[in-house]
Structure 1
């Protein structure tokens, strides 16, 4: 009951904050745009289009189209890239990835004509994230690498850190946690140097998730809670929705506290519904389904799974489809419907194999192994057992501990790199001084010897010959 009350209070609080604030902002912008002309009018139309995202996707795109048309009519072609980039972001947030890519491609063409390198890199970055959500990981990395090349060439330090972090997120999704940790930590160091508190907190959260995968649960929880505090201070509701979901996952899977987990999940869902974040809603609905599944409230569990799966399929969120099919398979296993369980587990495995999401391979294999045992299906059991025997790593725990120690050591070295560079520069300077003193000393000796030889020579000339 306390959880439900907390959810309702949180939902109402955020609803009031968002609704009132958004409507006031939209009303103000509508009044302002009628009084403006030229560049100012276009900038206001872009802001109005972005404000409409939380109210009406249709109005958001219509306003963006108005901005693009006005820019064309008035000859402000340099602003077209910005308008199209904003419209692409609106489409991406709504889950319409095909439309998002269309706008982003148009934005690329517009920016190429104006040499807007920072904006060009940003567009490549956003396209990479869309392909990541479509589970087209190679293509995602391809676009993100183009962004990093531009950012390196034009010394766009903060944007480069963002691209590195996005590539790390792809490695995380694929289950390559070492590469994910490398990228997150590189970005975290940059954001710390730039005093960018919010992005630093995002990297802290992401690093916490890697530690969680390595079973360093307390360290992971500490990092997530640290990030949550910063997000609340900065009123970053997008990231707050993410961190609530992640903390809920940790409480659910490792602390085994379903009450606390459900509280965090429902807070996350309330925020994501208000933001219209379809992808985020799909993620957290599936997680809420797991809580109900473990409480044997299977009707409620399947209801949440069905919503999560329908959203993921509608927006083309492949990771969400893989994840939810796995959860449904486990729910059917729990309800002893083993054949139905295997059907969903096989769907999960086929998609995971197709898109290279390898962290599902072992857990699907183990679940199917148990299903075949329960069914008394000897042939099915032996087939899964052969897979199990060939892939099971008996040193998994030791490997995770080794990875954790390796990562910590590597990052401590990274933290000392600036100091090492300073000491190296000092040593180089000292070495140059030593060489200078040495050459000076040798020169003085040569001069002294020369003077002495001259004196001796002169003295010898003054000695009378007997």
Structure 2
């Protein structure tokens, strides 16, 4: 109901939209919202969005819709070749404009397609490319989804332990975010691993949790897949009536959506169930439908299983010629897949060898470069040390020179002061001597005056005496 309400709102917005990028985005969102309800309409809307985006030179809009078309054809139509065609077109534009958000999503979807085609190395390659971008962007929703997709690839390798690890990592992230579809996917994936581990009780617990979420959110394809998995679990428990009930519910949804991928698997599983329960005619009819759809979709792994079941059916019903013909087809498919796997393994080995060789050369070059850098750094450090030492020596010399000059100036100043003092003393002594000499001269002059006075007095006395005594003269 909530999904339909959102779709109705988008349709109203679309009617009033101008021919601009907002309309492109509205068409894109609307096509994505109705993808599980009506895939053909979703494809039509996506193509309309692309035409308008190209007219507006809005490359992000083109890339987003190309990526969505890849999902529509791959996930809902089961056409992997068409899906890859659209995905790689989206990648080309995304890489040109550096559209990281779209690239991360598309890398992840390419990984899913390669998983469906049993090319697990490429599936992991693109899965981890997607995870790296998501972690760089810190996009928790994409991280959660990508972790789950990587888990699916590990499941198919098969590495069930690793798969379960990635499923729980994903679930831990998506649960708090309220991402219903991702949460339901992870619950279902965890249930599949438990089913493989013969833990049917745990498997059913997680399957029904996933089914409840899918039904509430209107996730028809996921609901159909989960119904099929529940049926398979009941078949493991030999509860065939319940198994058939859930298979038929799954098939009904798949037919309504024209989901050939889901239909091919469900027909095969029902055919197997009918064979186990002795309904051979119904079994043959269902297995033939499964073969036709799987051949059309090029699902070789599934086709191999259906051919093997047909061979067993014809052998059980005493039709050896048909049993032999389908057994040969089974062997041919098995060998073809085996050879493809071997070729891929050889190619991976060759690529690993070339990578290791290039890495060894790169490591050697890197090591040589590090040695050169260390030598340059060491030489630079040595030069810096020499410069520092030279500077220190120069500073010491300058300081020593300044100390010498300072001391010399102090000595010179003291010498000058001493000379000044001596000069003053000499001047004082000279002055004192001069004063003394003056005093002596004055004394001499004074004594001379006294002497002259005395001499004059004698003559004066003598003169006066002669006057007084003429006879004496």
Give the TM-score, by structure 1 length: 0.71
- The Cα shift of 1:394 comes to 12
Cα distance per residue 1:264-308 (max 9 Å; x no partner):
111111111111111111111111111222333333222222221
| Aligned equivalent of 2:16 | 70
| Aligned equivalent of 1:121 | 63
- 5 Å-filtered alignment, 1:55-454, equals 55=2, 57=4, 59-72=5-18, 77-94=20-37, 96-132=38-74, 133-252=76-195, 254-393=196-335, 428=369, 431=372
- The Cα shift of 1:429 comes to 7.4
Conserved 8 A contact 2:300-2:337: no
The alignment partner of 1:336 has SS state of coil
Larger Rg: 2
Change (3 A) 1:380 1:78: closer
Higher relative contact order (CA 8 A, sep 6+): 1
- Whole-angstrom CA distance in 2 between matches of 1:56 and 1:215: 36
- Whole-angstrom CA distance in 2 between matches of 1:333 and 1:324: 14
Cα distance per residue 1:441-461 (max 9 Å; x no partner):
xxxxxxxxxxxxxxxxxxxxx
Cα RMSD (Å) of the superposition? 3.3
The alignment partner of 2:238 has SS state of coil
Cα distance per residue 1:58-88 (max 9 Å; x no partner):
x44432222122224xxx7331111111211
Change (3 A) 1:87 1:370: same
Aligned residues: 369
Conserved 8 A contact 2:294-2:300: yes
- Whole-angstrom CA distance in 2 between matches of 1:208 and 1:316: 27
Conserved 8 A contact 1:282-1:307: yes
Cα distance per residue 1:385-429 (max 9 Å; x no partner):
323444445997xx79x97xx79x97xx99xx9xx9999779657
The alignment partner of 1:126 has SS state of helix
Give the TM-score, by structure 2 length: 0.70
- Whole-angstrom CA distance in 2 between matches of 1:387 and 1:139: 26
- The Cα shift of 1:261 comes to 0.9
Change (3 A) 1:346 1:395: closer
- Whole-angstrom CA distance in 1 between matches of 2:377 and 2:234: 77
Change (3 A) 1:66 1:388: closer
Change (3 A) 1:150 1:342: same
Change (3 A) 1:55 1:243: same
Conserved 8 A contact 1:283-1:308: yes
Conserved 8 A contact 2:151-2:162: yes
Structure 2 residue runs without a partner (length 5+): 380-473
Cα distance per residue 1:224-258 (max 9 Å; x no partner):
12211121132222101101111111111x21111
Structure 1 residue runs without a partner (length 5+): 1-53, 439-466
